[in-house]
Structure 1
């Protein structure tokens, strides 16, 4: 529903073929037809994107933010997540050097739902959150963030809903063929042997209309081969020494080189033979491969150093300089490889029965599949501790991220560093037998949906229309978690000192670790060595009860009935528009899992099934008061839900027995919980929006989310006697048991403001200059139980700020953008590819780009050609996480370098 009458420029954009979502195609076509005689104002580039985004924000009945493509195949940034992170109240977390997950209004990725053309998407991660780097920005036309829901939004979430929209070929209205190609380079160079610091991105799009503009097609293909380099410092932790100072427990610094390959395909077929029937089929497919090579050294310090740690200098309770005596290290040659596929198919049909009745039917299918390889290969000076050569390693805190070392041994010498188990980590085959490890998890996610709805338009009433319908979805997600201990086939256990020199055919040029002072290290193709059958594999699930309950299957059937009344009236001569509605969400959820325990030293597993059902009522109201010309006050209230994490809803139950003479508690257990209810919140919003030009507005919003519950891991002490047979008659039967539970609630509150200004409105000399500014302040508090200590939500940054300054005139474009977010609790990859929450340090990321559109040059032969030079992470901002509240205790310091891109687009 339109809250403002379209301005001349807005209508001109529609008439000129401004591309919008397929679901808005009818309205755009009708508007263009009705106003064929208006003068078309040609708007391109940055300003086109800003004006279309502003037009959508003005016309929406909800509080939304939007990003629109500057042209076919050209969103403002190289990734969707980076573009989203520039919107008010939205922030992104970088992972492996790229932004791939987002937080909305302080709510982490778990509280955000992503849709494609309005349909919820399956995801390749362990939960529901969509990783946005799976979707090529070149194939999307617009992305809309819904901060307040209405009853017709099926994929609601407490944080917000991100809807990625493809182009409508009939609304586009003209034949277009566009190609783009960019080369890119990372300024850190090729950090690992065999890696590449150069890559490319290419895309091609074709849009056309046939049969007197009743049939439209849009086809697109985008390929990316993108390099990524990283210098990374990791610490095990910081225990206290005898003097009470925190000291480095151990470290695992390394360099990572990765190559990200992605092929994306898009097809849209649109059919509108008359004013009665409109049909759209859209198909999206993506194939995604991320190949990472990691080489570095693992250094035991306070935890594991044979000769201990000699502290030389301490500052404010932290040892900043010292020597690790008799250090034995592990040289690591690791591989992380991810293969993922995503498919989304949708078919939408609209029937205009008469002037009052319209019916819509929508069918959707989404599937995602992921296969990972996480391999670790170890080498050192001997098998087991106290066997090989040792080193005295000096270390000095570098004041930025971690420590700089000095060393004596040559860690790149294949005659010194050999394959084996240098630290005696061991495996079920015996002591000193873990020469490597490999994880092979697989994720499959399948989602089917069907929606049937109708709208009745009232002829004369304060209610413009009433919409009602039902939506049904089925979702099945499974994880198969396989892991294997690796032992060299040449080691039979009879020679405790057995090591193996790396065969020459696998040796690579040494890798430099100069960034933290350790010089070169031995490098080899560990994955090829593994694939050639040089290791004996031992399945972890056969010997480790905890691994046996890592695999799971979770299913959901959700039926949502909804009704919503659209309002269009006056209250005391103030135009009032909006909606009021309610959803009834009926859910059946179930899980097939495993119950495992150790009986008599043997692992015993049994199938375990659990299910639950519930119904939640979600009312919502969105009201917009046009208090003055182009000024709006919006008020919204709603009850929203975010479904529990699927990896927490499994029905797995695991028990373990290990004698603990210190505590006397020998039994431990853990479980998922299929009975988990969704997160629920009552949220309230108010905003003021002032649209003072077609490319300028000011908005400020306040919001409060009253969280009704909170999901946490509860630890209980229970009697294990009735669960598992006693191991020893004298054992204490009381043990600890952990399970995910719905706990107490809390709140999230905040304020956000945004300003978009075209400076040309002030003076002709400033024509083409402009800026977009936004900032937010968030606060949260949640409790596991009424008596527990309050904590903040994961993913919440107290402060965020975004700024873009641009110039666009006579074909020339330039912009500098920065985004800041304060400290937050982020989610990162931990041991065995599990996810872990850590404290992340505040960061400011700056990007810049310049370009020229030759369509403005007057050279006919170059019409349609544009060139672009872009630098991402211009100031080389690192990603830093830390332990506890002391930011000096750096847990993880990641230096990504700068990415340079040079490319061209051509549109026929």
Structure 2
């Protein structure tokens, strides 16, 4: 039968971007080696970005699944601080920005919690509270490629309804030569330092070494990377927009309050990656890889918090201007208002370790074995503090201000007018200008219960959540080659994964150390901690005092009191979730004919059994203090996950692919936690249960989907292709708010400390239920202009468009919108590369979507996010390719990111005037070089 599958040698050449398969038609199975050698081979002499396109295209073309791919050239030479920037340019993929950087990746309308990320094929831990990987932890400089699986096969370890993102490191034996490379970059933001103690410049450097020894039986790769990346932000943030009834009976909404600020941050990341390959014989191949990342993200935030309608000032009706179409008060003045000056600091630290061992052994011509073991862990700490200032302590002391606001009609928020001088260190001092510290423990500590200073001892707040995530994996597989007209090989395997993730939450009230009932006033900022002023003209508030709040805390100018003494929220957020996942799989590789055309692919099934448990606390309050009892709840379940991938070769350039599979996405870890607010009642509720439980649900099971994918691809030239894809997901067992029954055996009543006889409870939290569909289409093209004329060689265009629709209902029949779903996604890159000169411009767009952002206490909250268009560009010059032999290996480049200064905008409701967040990051520039010895 005619077979278009390339040999191993051909595949090796293809992976290097050296062959054009458009001129290769492999002979029939009975053809001799001499006849095959006579086949015409066209050599493509392209390097750099164009070569990477060929590599990526061939990965996509010859994969048994529907995939998207990026080669190292793509990653290393685009303006990317993380791999997420590069991934977001692939067809059907997009990213959500966090603090100005792409971090969370969505695949075909599904948020990051519905996809899995693997590193060299192994599932990874996360520095987030849940499963979604934050890609800014992974340096793009040390990766050799990324493959995104849109359709799975039975051997893939990652689980995700949306797909699996596999990050790949280099394999030194495949290089065949020694490579020593040095990369260096300088980075600068378009904004000057928005905070006086910040920096708007940074640098990056990478040294990599690849070599082979002992007659190419040992390969070594080592990469060391360091980065300090600045980011600046002008941010408008609103508390909310309350509604009230006007005297004429109309419903009117107004600004409740705002928290605008400027942020200066510096992301520092040090990474070490190592790979050792050992191939002493043709039958044995061993690979050991390791990755270490030390990650710190430091943020300085300063601004003025303005409680408008929810404040203490009075709003004059004759100053209010109401938009007649929306009933929104677009401008007003509040008299006698007191604001809160904020000098905040946040530091997020994480340390990642990942180790892997893989051994492949060919027993004979028909059997091969593979063993894989890996371990990864991450420790994350957050130290996030708020420091308050104003003119006097409490709601009614100190100078008040007359403050007005005006919304300009766009999505940029409001600008304010004011009368006080917020840069005056004599007028503005440290302390709580509003009564926010509603804590009986705080009142008791300072003896202010029943006095005029009750609930006025909070001068700041410190959040200190930590996360530990640990994952161990083992995998064994055997592949049997068969002589069959249909099946060419069968792979059998088992795997085991053990994961434990623990979150600890705590928070502390801050009170200036000079405060007491005898000395209840504010504290003047000590001279040595003053940093001048910060400019807030972007919201009309002028200059504001700026001081080193972190230094003041560390040097003892604040006293701390744990909020968890009287607030149950930290007990809810503290938990441990454990999973033990055992899987068995079998997959047959197909190699046959249909309608006289070559048909390849695979069919398989994966059985997955899960034992999960969660440890936490059942808690309540007694006499104002939090009382807890430990909880430990277990649950198990199983899934059978069949999959099918077919590829029909119409000729040597056209292919039709079909994929079908059942997939799962596991529940968010914070939703599975066993920490609950528990109350034991002497009488049963309507369900016959005595416990009332509010919190996590440790018995949550994965969401399920049955997916179909149909793709037509035409590889019409060595550097060009176009494809059309249709996809459909039938969703079930989604997760929504609801009631469930929970077993409280062994849990003591927090009010009495005794274990009741009745152990059943009615839980309120997340439950499985609801169903729906997601469907869409995808168009993509890689168009080299040399197909029109050789004079246009080097010019090209890459473009894709994805349209997505969904029809999903929750378990109550209410419509539901998936987080991360944009109904339109588009990407365009135009490039020219020839004679050493390189220039590229990229645009990625996504429409409106719902996304998760950090709320109070680092809880994840879902908001409506406006669509955005991001534009990047690069210009570079490779001296060796340009013919300068004395400078062989040296290239230089200039990159620009977010050139149109696209903001990140989220809304409060459907009214475009009611802006929740408007974040202006400005532009970023990188100037760099690469030198290969």
Does the pair score TM above 0.5? yes
Q: Quickly say closer, same or farther: Cα 1:184–1:558, change in 2 above 3 A.
A: same
Equivalent pair of 1:545/1:656 in contact (CA under 8 Å): no
Counterpart among 304, 307, 313 of residue 306 in structure 1: 313
1:234 aligns with 2:234: no
1:617 aligns with 2:627: no
CA deviation after TM superposition for structure 1 residue 784, in Å: 2.4
CA deviation after TM superposition for structure 1 residue 39, in Å: 7.8
Rounded to whole Å, the distance in 1 between the matches of 2:9 and 2:119 is: 30
Q: Say which is worse superposed, 42-51 or 487-496, in terms of deviation.
A: 487-496
Task: Describe the SS at the equivalent of 1:628.
Answer: coil
Task: Describe the SS at the equivalent of 1:855.
Answer: coil
Q: Quickly say closer, same or farther: Cα 1:362–1:737, change in 2 above 3 A.
A: closer
Structure-to-structure mapping, 1:725-804, within 5 angstroms: 738-785=764-811, 787-804=812-829
1:322 aligns with 2:368: no
Equivalent pair of 2:312/2:395 in contact (CA under 8 Å): no
Rounded to whole Å, the distance in 1 between the matches of 2:89 and 2:368 is: 37
Counterpart among 316, 338, 359 of residue 349 in structure 1: 359
CA deviation after TM superposition for structure 1 residue 427, in Å: 4.0
1:471 aligns with 2:495: yes
Aligned length: 873
Structure-to-structure mapping, 1:199-598, within 5 angstroms: 199-243=202-246, 244-308=251-315, 310=317, 311-315=319-323, 316=325, 317-400=327-410, 401-428=412-439, 429-430=442-443, 431-496=455-520, 498-598=521-621
Counterpart among 642, 649, 656 of residue 626 in structure 1: 649
1:683 aligns with 2:707: yes
Deviations 1:188-216 (A, max 9, x none): 11000110000111111111111111111
Equivalent pair of 1:847/1:873 in contact (CA under 8 Å): yes
Rounded to whole Å, the distance in 2 between the matches of 1:212 and 1:265 is: 27
CA deviation after TM superposition for structure 1 residue 767, in Å: 1.1
Taking only aligned residues, the RMSD between alpha carbons, in angstroms, comes to: 2.4
Rounded to whole Å, the distance in 1 between the matches of 2:875 and 2:6 is: 35
CA deviation after TM superposition for structure 1 residue 45, in Å: 1.2
Q: Quickly say closer, same or farther: Cα 1:830–1:15, change in 2 above 3 A.
A: closer
Equivalent pair of 2:876/2:892 in contact (CA under 8 Å): yes
Q: Quickly say closer, same or farther: Cα 1:339–1:548, change in 2 above 3 A.
A: same
Rounded to whole Å, the distance in 2 between the matches of 1:287 and 1:713 is: 37
CA deviation after TM superposition for structure 1 residue 3, in Å: 6.5
Equivalent pair of 1:553/1:650 in contact (CA under 8 Å): yes
Rounded to whole Å, the distance in 2 between the matches of 1:818 and 1:72 is: 16
CA deviation after TM superposition for structure 1 residue 15, in Å: 6.5
Rounded to whole Å, the distance in 2 between the matches of 1:3 and 1:489 is: 77
Counterpart among 790, 814, 829 of residue 839 in structure 2: 814
1:842 aligns with 2:867: yes
CA deviation after TM superposition for structure 1 residue 75, in Å: 6.1
Task: Describe the SS at the equivalent of 1:774.
Answer: strand
Deviations 1:456-490 (A, max 9, x none): 00023310000011010000100011111111221
TM-score (norm 1): 0.93
Equivalent pair of 2:770/2:813 in contact (CA under 8 Å): no
Rounded to whole Å, the distance in 2 between the matches of 1:3 and 1:104 is: 30
Rounded to whole Å, the distance in 1 between the matches of 2:833 and 2:45 is: 14
Corresponding residue for 2:931? 906
CA deviation after TM superposition for structure 1 residue 309, in Å: 5.6
Counterpart among 697, 718, 739 of residue 721 in structure 2: 697
Rounded to whole Å, the distance in 1 between the matches of 2:827 and 2:165 is: 19
Rounded to whole Å, the distance in 2 between the matches of 1:515 and 1:580 is: 59
Rounded to whole Å, the distance in 1 between the matches of 2:17 and 2:65 is: 26
Q: Quickly say closer, same or farther: Cα 1:87–1:610, change in 2 above 3 A.
A: same
Deviations 1:517-571 (A, max 9, x none): 1001111000100011122211111111232232111111000100001100011
Q: Quickly say closer, same or farther: Cα 1:49–1:107, change in 2 above 3 A.
A: same
Equivalent pair of 2:823/2:847 in contact (CA under 8 Å): yes
Q: Quickly say closer, same or farther: Cα 1:386–1:448, change in 2 above 3 A.
A: same
Deviations 1:433-475 (A, max 9, x none): 1100000011000000000000000023310000011010000
Rounded to whole Å, the distance in 1 between the matches of 2:109 and 2:230 is: 31
Rounded to whole Å, the distance in 1 between the matches of 2:42 and 2:796 is: 25
Corresponding residue for 1:730? none
Structure-to-structure mapping, 1:63-78, within 5 angstroms: 63-70=66-73, 74=77, 77-78=80-81
CA deviation after TM superposition for structure 1 residue 723, in Å: 6.3
Task: Describe the SS at the equivalent of 1:648.
Answer: helix
Rounded to whole Å, the distance in 1 between the matches of 2:136 and 2:222 is: 20
Corresponding residue for 1:674? 698
Equivalent pair of 1:849/1:869 in contact (CA under 8 Å): yes
1:117 aligns with 2:117: no
CA deviation after TM superposition for structure 1 residue 645, in Å: 0.8
CA deviation after TM superposition for structure 1 residue 264, in Å: 0.9
CA deviation after TM superposition for structure 1 residue 172, in Å: 1.1
Task: Describe the SS at the equivalent of 1:157.
Answer: coil
CA deviation after TM superposition for structure 1 residue 656, in Å: 7.9
Deviations 1:12-57 (A, max 9, x none): 4557899xxxxxxxxxxxx9xx989978644211111110000000
Structure-to-structure mapping, 1:711-726, within 5 angstroms: 711-714=735-738
TM-score (norm 2): 0.90
Q: Quickly say closer, same or farther: Cα 1:35–1:440, change in 2 above 3 A.
A: farther
Counterpart among 184, 196, 199 of residue 199 in structure 2: 196
Equivalent pair of 1:545/1:655 in contact (CA under 8 Å): no
CA deviation after TM superposition for structure 1 residue 655, in Å: 4.2
CA deviation after TM superposition for structure 1 residue 388, in Å: 1.1
Counterpart among 604, 622, 632 of residue 599 in structure 1: 622
Deviations 1:390-439 (A, max 9, x none): 11112111233101111110111111111111111024222101100000
Q: List runs of 5+ in structure 2 lacking aligned partners.
A: 20-32, 444-454, 681-690, 753-760
Equivalent pair of 1:841/1:887 in contact (CA under 8 Å): no
CA deviation after TM superposition for structure 1 residue 756, in Å: 0.5
Rounded to whole Å, the distance in 2 between the matches of 1:75 and 1:249 is: 42
Deviations 1:858-892 (A, max 9, x none): 22221110000010000000000001112221000
Rounded to whole Å, the distance in 1 between the matches of 2:228 and 2:720 is: 37
Corresponding residue for 1:863? 888
Q: Quickly say closer, same or farther: Cα 1:48–1:654, change in 2 above 3 A.
A: same
CA deviation after TM superposition for structure 1 residue 765, in Å: 2.2
Task: Describe the SS at the equivalent of 2:232.
Answer: strand
Rounded to whole Å, the distance in 1 between the matches of 2:312 and 2:345 is: 27
Equivalent pair of 1:74/1:137 in contact (CA under 8 Å): no
CA deviation after TM superposition for structure 1 residue 85, in Å: 0.6
Deviations 1:830-871 (A, max 9, x none): 111111110000100000110000012322221110000010
Q: Quickly say closer, same or farther: Cα 1:7–1:602, change in 2 above 3 A.
A: closer
1:653 aligns with 2:676: yes
CA deviation after TM superposition for structure 1 residue 491, in Å: 1.1
Deviations 1:37-82 (A, max 9, x none): 9786442111111100000000001000001012895567442101
Deviations 1:746-791 (A, max 9, x none): 2211111101010011112211110000010111233221x33111
Task: Describe the SS at the equivalent of 1:126.
Answer: coil
Q: Quickly say closer, same or farther: Cα 1:466–1:125, change in 2 above 3 A.
A: same
